[in-house]
Amino acid sequence: MFDTFAGLATTHLLALVAGFLLGALVFLGDGRPRGPQPPACTDVTARWCPRHGRCTCTIGRGENAMTEHDIDDPGCPLHGTGCPLARHRQHPRRHLTPRDAARRGWIAGMVRELVRPPKARPGDRVAVLSPSFAAAGAFPAVHEQAMRRLAEVTGLVPVEFPTTRRVGASATARAGDINAAFADPAIRGILAVVGGDDQITVIPHLDAGLARTDPKPFLGTSDNTNLHHWLWANGIASFYGGSSQVHLGPGPGVDDVHARSLRAALVTGGRLEITDPGESEDVGVDWADPRALECFGERAATEPWSWHGPARTVTGAAWGGCLEVIQWILTAGRFPFPAEALLGGVLIIETSEKLLPAREVGWIVRALGERGLLGAVDAVLVARPPVSDHTRRPAAEDRARLRAAQRDVVVEMVARYNPDAVVCVGVPFGHTRPQWILPHGGRVTVDGSARRVFADYG
């Protein structure tokens, strides 16, 4: 009888195991769970919680700890008043303004507070480095004129480092110069000669401790977006723009808007209104041509800036740079922050001399939207794009059409992900000349009502 009972028990146990395995196979099948699925949370700060049976908040409670809590928990400074979650998925936009959230003490814990390096004084030394392409070595005449003009415009003493003129220097050697510039207490600012395409390989060799110990104003554009983002990630503000080989060396002189913002970034500080210089060139005279020392490139009158979004005023920390390089940075995993780190900020984006088609620009901006970055900021500044180079110069009407195509796709993407953002297109802070240098991490004001832009240089 015991044997019979044991046999029956074994049979039942095997049946239970088989049933469990069969259920597991049905559940797994092609890797997708069967049955009803929890709804997607349309609020970027929330996720579905089976315990609550609804979307729950995962940020901002207590001392801004990442603590999950009920979406309408009164202890949450973001959601404490109760919040509607019925937002369209295309608009992953927070539902409190930065001013409202700041009153609840939330943004102070999420938005990064950056160190603003002290200004240099006349007679101080400024490092001139080649973190990417060493154009100073390839085209020394333009570089030497740039160094003379740098001293004249700023009153500072330019100092070159071992790789400033060394074409083909390794990533470790270039990083060594950057580290040395931060380590030298006599150096009170750093200016990049020009951009390039491989600075992303330099970043792993940098010593963040040196930059944090003695932060200094850094200026550069294009590929130097890598360095701007490395500094930003380490809590240091910088200035986007100012490549000496492009804006100081060539032509009969330094453009007024560039000289004023260069002095403000390195020496004087203060607040400047960013205005339209009225003319622009996509590319200058070839640096190998002696005429590059005396002549500007072919310049044309600019069209008015294009404004979109609500007629309100936004003041926030600027973040961004060259779109192509931002894409590399995100792909390399060098933005390890939630999108909320940019809350209330001003996105500044521009495109390079590679002349990306408008549709590709739109793809990159769309990816920023999917990442949540477009939804976090309150304003977007888009630089006047270059649409010609030394080998391709379309007719004037075609150049205008190419600029308009890029404008339209960027405006469309921003509106899709953040219809509340103030957008201004055409500001000359990118790959065209004259160029304004803008704060990166510092404060920029975008006034959609008066249609004016201001920058705070500290």
* Fold classified for 274-456: Glucose Oxidase; domain 1 (3.50.30)
Q: What is the mean pLDDT of residues 276-282?
A: 98
Q: What is the mean pLDDT of residues 239-268?
A: 99
Contact 329, 286 (CB under 8 A): no
pLDDT reading at 134 higher than 60:
yes
Q: How far is CA 75 from CA 53, 107, 391, 397, in A?
A: 19, 15, 61, 58
Q: How far is CA 194 from CA 148, 249, 389, 434, in A?
A: 17, 11, 17, 15
Q: What is the DSSP string of 421-433?
A: -EEEEEES-SSSB
Lowest mean pLDDT among 25-39, 238-252, 310-324: 25-39
pLDDT reading at 386 higher than 80:
yes
User: What letter represents residue 342's amino acid?
Assistant: L
* Fold classified for 125-269: Rossmann fold (3.40.50)
* Percentage above 90 pLDDT, the chain: 75
pLDDT reading at 74 higher than 60:
no
Q: How many CB atoms lie within 10 A of CB 69?
A: 20
Q: What is the mean pLDDT of residues 403-432?
A: 98
Q: What is the torsional sign of CA 124, 189, 238, 364?
A: positive
pLDDT in tens, 171-206: 999 999 999 999 999 999 999 999 999 999 999 999
Contact 239, 218 (CB under 8 A): yes
Q: What is the DSSP string of 209-255?
A: HHHHHS---EEE-GGGHHHHHHHHHTTB-EEEB--HHHHTSSSSS--
pLDDT reading at 289 higher than 50:
yes
Residues forming CATH 3.40.50.10740 domain(s) in the chain: 125-269
pLDDT-derived band at 8, boundaries 50, 70, 90: very low
Lowest mean pLDDT among 18-22, 151-155, 287-291, 323-327: 18-22
Lowest mean pLDDT among 15-19, 30-34, 125-129, 280-284: 30-34
SS3 434: coil
pLDDT-derived band at 113, boundaries 50, 70, 90: confident
Q: What is the pLDDT of residue 139?
A: 99
Residues forming CATH 3.50.30.60 domain(s) in the chain: 274-456
pLDDT reading at 235 higher than 80:
yes
Residues 6+ apart with CB under 8 A from 192: 129, 130, 131, 132, 218, 219, 220, 221, 224, 227, 242, 243, 244
Contact 194, 222 (CB under 8 A): yes
Q: Nearest CA to 435 among 290, 183, 265, 198?
A: 265
Q: What is the pLDDT of residue 161?
A: 99
Residues 309, 311, 314, 318, Cα dihedral to 10°: 40
For helices 358-370 and 323-331, give the axis angle rounded to 10 degrees.
40
CA–CA separation, 73 and 71 (whole Å): 6
Range 50-67 burial, b when 16+ CB lie within 10 A, else e:
eeeebbbbbbbbeebeee
pLDDT reading at 73 higher than 80:
no
Q: Nearest CA to 441 among 239, 271, 261, 237?
A: 237
pLDDT in tens, 57-67: 443 323 333 33
Tokens of 280: 């622009």
pLDDT reading at 251 higher than 50:
yes
Q: What is the pLDDT of residue 93?
A: 43
CA–CA separation, 458 and 415 (whole Å): 31
Query: Average model confidence (pLDDT) for the chain?
Result: 85
pLDDT reading at 27 higher than 90:
no
The edge-to-edge listing of strands for the beta sheet with 346-350 is 271-274, 452-456, 443-447, 313-322, 346-350, 379-383, 422-427, 306-308
Q: What is the mean pLDDT of residues 239-264?
A: 99
Query: Which residue's entry shows tokens 């160094």?
Result: 147
pLDDT reading at 364 higher than 50:
yes
Tell me which DSSP letter residue 123 carries: T
Residues 6+ apart with CB under 8 A from 232: 112, 114, 238, 319, 440, 441
Q: How many CB atoms lie within 10 A of CB 269?
A: 17
